[in-house]
């Protein structure tokens, strides 16, 4: 088995699965990677000799085969692979429908654990019989996800609540899968030298242990709720600390329509375009105003009530920026919005980006591809034309002058923006990104000394 990665830290008491379990999971991940990789390489080879229409059909069939293979493996292994599949399913803006529609079922409909397992976990964590804590407890979960499942309940004082219960033993399985995944990515980087995803994956995966600590999640929820205390359109359920531990989280039960349920929004009289605008406004406030944001806005974590009022769930992955990093992100955003070449280069370098040749052209191209063209085309999300242009131009740019250092916090922001872009595509977003982002950037830029913004 591959060695563990030192940049991903787990608590000392996380158990390690037995050798047989680790080997079985490792073989499943390797087999999935091989099926997907070989399938696409075969299609790439055969499409040299067929018409464009036939080529499109072949790729669609391979997309469906690969997505189904990942779905089946994720259901079998659970844990980390389900989280990866959930992320893929949010990218309706850039990925084929075959991937999105196949994996979308994993957002909140993962096969649940038996009630007896959940009862034992709760009683072990709280140190009390289930009936002494909850007057009522629904045996059927209202949601089941990658690391935990949620049950509706009622406390003895009458408060309705949602109880999030971490699956027993999931910490050790996730730890094993992280090792396996990083080794597979190492092999893929050797096969496809232009697409080494290990740095990005390692940076993204290092936050996984935080999601396994529900006390950490409760702290995040309370902090973000406080930041939006004066905004009635922003809702974070209250946490009931006296009935919560590291592996059990009891919170206020708040109901709403899933943000990607467009038909449900319409039935509730909620304007999907207003939802898209409110979503972008609130994330701009979190990132550019507060420097502390929900870092996992997939469809299962956001509900909507009339207003619209957005309900945010699952704060296991939230990020607090140092003030200097937030200011750096604002400077970069402002520079791109105003097409200031020198300021864009300076902002990238101050954030910690480094290229092999120390040439600014790679950084300028990335700025244009990631945000500049979206703004100039007045798009609220990356459409097919932008994605195709990105896929064609970025590999060439990186081959000529590869990026050798990327600040980890930027990768997390980029992940969030990708998830928001996918939601924007589903909601047919008409958000004016320039008009939405600029006020936040102007406020922070105006607070800086004149010499710093020149």
Cβ-contact 8, 42 below 8 angstroms? no
The residue among 417, 374, 238 whose CA lies nearest residue 311 is 238
pLDDT digits (tens, 9 = 90+) for 393-441: 555 555 555 665 666 677 677 778 777 877 888 898 888 877 888 887 7
List, for the chain, all residue ranges whose pLDDT scores fall below the cut of 50.
1-6, 372, 450-454
Cβ-contact 315, 224 below 8 angstroms? yes
Of 177, 296, 327, 368, which one is the catalytic site residue? 296
- What pLDDT does 423 receive? 87
- What pLDDT does 197 receive? 62
The residue among 219, 212, 144 whose CA lies nearest residue 178 is 212
- What pLDDT does 253 receive? 97
- What pLDDT does 24 receive? 93
- What pLDDT does 203 receive? 58
% of the chain exceeding 90 in pLDDT: 37
- What pLDDT does 453 receive? 44
- What pLDDT does 199 receive? 59
Catalytic residue status for 296: yes
pLDDT digits (tens, 9 = 90+) for 237-287: 999 999 999 999 999 999 999 999 999 999 999 999 999 999 999 999 998
- What pLDDT does 437 receive? 82
Cβ-contact 353, 407 below 8 angstroms? yes
- What pLDDT does 1 receive? 38
Q: List the chain domain ranges.
A: 19-111+170-209, 258-447
d(CA 119, CA 130): 7
């Amino acid at each position: 088995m591959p060695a563990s990665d030192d940049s991903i830290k787990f608590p000392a008491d996380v158990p390690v699965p037995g050798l047989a379990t680790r080997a079985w999971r490792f073989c499943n991940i390797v087999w999935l990677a091989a099926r997907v990789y070989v399938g696409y390489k075969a299609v790439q080879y055969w499409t040299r000799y067929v018409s464009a229409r036939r080529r499109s059909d072949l790729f669609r069939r391979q997309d469906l085969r690969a997505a189904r293979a990942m779905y089946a493996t994720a259901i079998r292994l659970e844990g980390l692979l389900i989280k990866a599949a959930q992320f893929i399913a949010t990218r309706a803006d850039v990925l084929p429908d075959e991937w999105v529609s196949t994996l979308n079922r994993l957002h909140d409909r993962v096969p649940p654990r038996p009630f007896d397992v959940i009862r034992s976990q709760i009683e072990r964590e709280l140190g009390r019989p289930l009936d002494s804590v909850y007057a009522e407890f629904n045996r059927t979960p209202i949601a089941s996800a990658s690391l935990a499942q949620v049950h509706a309940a009622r406390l003895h004082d009458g408060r309705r609540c949602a109880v999030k219960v971490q699956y027993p033993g999931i910490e050790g399985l996730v730890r094993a899968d992280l090792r396996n995944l990083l080794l597979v990515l190492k092999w893929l980087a050797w096969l496809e030298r232009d697409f080494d995803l290990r740095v990005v994956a390692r940076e993204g995966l290092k936050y996984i242990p935080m999601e396994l600590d529900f006390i950490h999640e409760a702290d995040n929820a309370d902090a973000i709720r406080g930041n939006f205390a004066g905004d009635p359109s922003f809702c974070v359920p209250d946490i009931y600390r006296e009935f919560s531990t590291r592996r059990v989280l009891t919170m206020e039960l708040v109901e709403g329509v899933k943000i990607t349920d467009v038909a449900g929004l319409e039935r509730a009289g909620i304007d999907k375009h207003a939802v898209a605008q409110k979503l972008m406004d609130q994330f701009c406030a979190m990132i550019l105003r507060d420097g502390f944001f929900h870092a996992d806005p997939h469809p299962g974590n956001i509900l909507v009530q009339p207003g619209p009022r957005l309900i945010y769930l699952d704060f296991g992955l939230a990020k607090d920026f140092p003030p200097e990093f937030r200011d750096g992100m604002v400077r970069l955003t402002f520079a791109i919005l105003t097409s200031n070449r020198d300021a864009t280069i300076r902002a990238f370098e101050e954030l910690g980006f480094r290229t092999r040749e120390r040439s600014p052209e790679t950084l300028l191209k990335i700025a244009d591809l990631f945000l500049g063209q979206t703004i100039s085309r007045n798009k609220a999300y990356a459409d097919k034309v932008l994605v195709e242009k990105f896929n064609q131009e970025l590999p060439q740019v990186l081959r000529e002058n590869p990026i050798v250092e990327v600040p980890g916090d930027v990768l997390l922001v980029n992940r969030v923006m990708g998830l928001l872009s996918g939601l924007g595509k589903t909601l047919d977003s008409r958000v004016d990104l320039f008009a939405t982002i600029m006020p936040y950037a102007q406020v922070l830029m105006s607070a800086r000394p004149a010499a710093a913004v020149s």
